[in-house]
Amino acid sequence: MRTGLLIVGVFYLSGLLGQNVLTLHLDSSQVKIEKEIYGHFSEHLGTCIYEGIYVGEDSDIPNINGYRTDVVEALKELNVPVLRWPGGCFADTYHWKDGIGPKEDRPSIVNVFWGGVTEDNSFGTHEFLDFCELIGTEPYLSINVGSGTVQEARDWVEYVTSSNKSPMTDLRKKNGREEPWKVKFWGIGNENWGCGGDMNPDYYSNLFRHYSSYIKGDGFQKVICGPAGGDQHWTEEIMSTLQGKNNLAQGLSLHYYTLPTADWSAKGSSTDFGEEMWFKTLYNTMLIKDYIKEHLAIMEKYDPEGNIKLIVDEWGTWYDKLPGTKDGFLQQQNTLRDALVAGINLNIFNNHADKISMANIAQIVNVLQSVIMTRDAQMVKTPTYHVFNLYKVHQDAMLIPSEVITESYRYEDKSIPALTASASEKEELISITLTNSNPHKNLQVKCDIGRSIESISGRIVNSMDITDYNDFNKAEKVFIEAVEINQPKNNTFDLTIPAHSVLLIQLKLE
């Protein structure tokens, strides 16, 4: 007890004195960081699918079977491990049979949630699953519970995954696909406490049990709709209704969006902000750490074996729409602030890799905190793209438990830790990712690895100003650069993490 207090005291004092220390526990590495933590989300919303991913074979924009070549190449480079589709709120209005067969016969529908635009269904099940194959990613399908039926869901599973003869598999073959696809991840409903039917938890979880018992297949990972942010009541009710039936779900979803303000009608600009909004955004994004802890504690109560993992299948920033863009299209810019949000969240997810098996940033192209933005034939990689590219070294690596002593970054009467970090090991290479939230001050950090180091290298995402972003027709401002790192002495090395940056350090041990 006394030793514990002493250690806590030393840590606290070091933080106060501005001594930042990162300690890695190399010998305690037992947990794999599932690559799916680096997942993405694509919804029929704004220009995410149409224009962003799919332009059709007749487009002047260079494409492979209708998929934008530039976007395909950029996503391949990122090693996108999993992609969620078709929503979001759209999923609970989506009838998959509208999106199969000859395109000219597919019905046009109204996209009621997102701008009331016409959805011509030219991008459907085949187009999505073929896209996943093209970029080498696992599909994650969201089943319509809000306005669908159990039969419709069952038919979709059979159409997509069965190799037996049946009316559904005959239909698939008639539509040009002989072999089934491999689909492991199935979400059963989306935000059913809100846009997915405005249900109460008791009603939804019984509905989930009903759907789940008909959605079966080898190695299926089924995801039950979980809470938004800190809603512990929803988690408690869902987990208690599942009790004893834990085999029906392998994942519980969590959605948390980072807004600079707490006001959905005035969230704040994605480009025009000062230190106050910078701080509030990073403060709010860090709240996810507490939410994760709280939900995991409830889950553990009802599922002590930990069979049900937490799946953060929507996360990222949400600002006011860009001036001049359509209502309901959720178009925003992506600045260095978003790079910090990405780095901080990914460090948090890595550090909970024993309990979090997937996370999907919202959304992949042109919507919310996207990694890619397109305009006609042009494409840019956003600061968030570069952070995902930097952090991809953690995919399927072994988590190295770490301890961080950090000074605070204070703004007015609130403060957050200036430094966040996570570390992993793969193929004898140790990767450490670090963020510095302080926009004014470089952080000096002592890193204790506990073993002799042979070589060290670093790469960074940073820029001059916190509001910098990558714009069409202009040289990139925010990108990945190599940085010089002080040579290690014995088992330690000293790092400088520049203000407002995200850093990757890689080490080889002797």
| Minimum distance from residue 366 beta carbon to ligand AHR (Å) | 12
Minimum distance, C-beta of residue 470 to ligand AHR, in the bound complex (Å)? 22
403 is catalytic: no
Q: Is 227 in the site for ligand AHR (CB under 6 A)?
A: no
Which 279-318 residues touch ligand AHR, going by CB under 6 A?
314
Site for ligand AHR contains 190 (CB under 6 A): yes
Q: Give which of 203, 192, 231 is closest to 89, Cα–Cα.
A: 192
Using CB under 6 A, pick the residue from 36, 119, 158, 191 that binds ligand AHR.
191
Contact flag: residue 231 with ligand AHR (CB under 6 A): no
Please answer whether residues 204 and 240 qualify as being in contact, where contact means their C-beta atoms are separated by less than 8 angstroms: no
Catalytic residue among 36, 158, 237, 314: 314
How far apart are the C-alpha atoms of 445 and 447, rounded to whole Å?
6
DSSP state of 501: E
Interacting positions 88-147 with ligand AHR (CB under 6 A):
88-89
Which of 181, 208 has the CB closer to ligand AHR? Answer: 208
Cβ-closest residue to ligand AHR?
88
- Cβ proximity to ligand AHR: between 314 and 338 the closer is 314
Q: How far is the CB of 213 from ligand AHR (least distance, A)?
A: 24
Q: Would you say 479 and 368 are in contact if contact means Cβ atoms under 8 Å apart?
A: no
**Structure token digits, residue 173:** 């073959």
The sign one gets for the Cα dihedral 484, 77, 38, 321 is: positive
Instruction: Identify whether 300 is a catalytic site residue.
Output: no
Is residue 430 within 8 Å of 22, Cβ to Cβ? Answer: no
User: Cβ distance 149 to 208 under 8 Å?
Assistant: no
Q: With contact defined as beta carbons under 8 Å apart, do 190 and 142 qualify?
A: yes
Q: Which is nearer to ligand AHR, 85 or 411 (CB)?
A: 85
- Angle CA 304–309–313, to nearest 5: 150
With CA atoms as reference, report the closest residue to 223 among 239, 231, 210, 212.
212
Cβ-Cβ contacts under 8 Å for 303 (sequence gap 6 or more): 239, 242, 246
Among 362, 371, 405, 456, binds ligand AHR (CB under 6 A): 362
44 vs 280 by CB, closer to ligand AHR: 44
* 57 CB-near residues (< 8 Å, 6+ apart): 63, 65, 66
43 belongs to the binding site for ligand AHR (CB under 6 A): yes
Hey, what are 77's tokens?
């480079």
Residue with smaller CB distance to ligand AHR, 159 or 329? 329
- Active-site residue among 119, 191, 237, 407? 191
Stretch that binds ligand AHR, among 245-253, 362-370, 472-480, 491-499 (CB under 6 A): 362-370
The token pair at 491 is 């088992």
Does position 39 bind ligand AHR by CB under 6 A? no
Active site residues: 191, 314
- Footprint on this chain of ligand AHR (rule: CB under 6 A): 43, 87-89, 190-191, 314, 362-363, 368
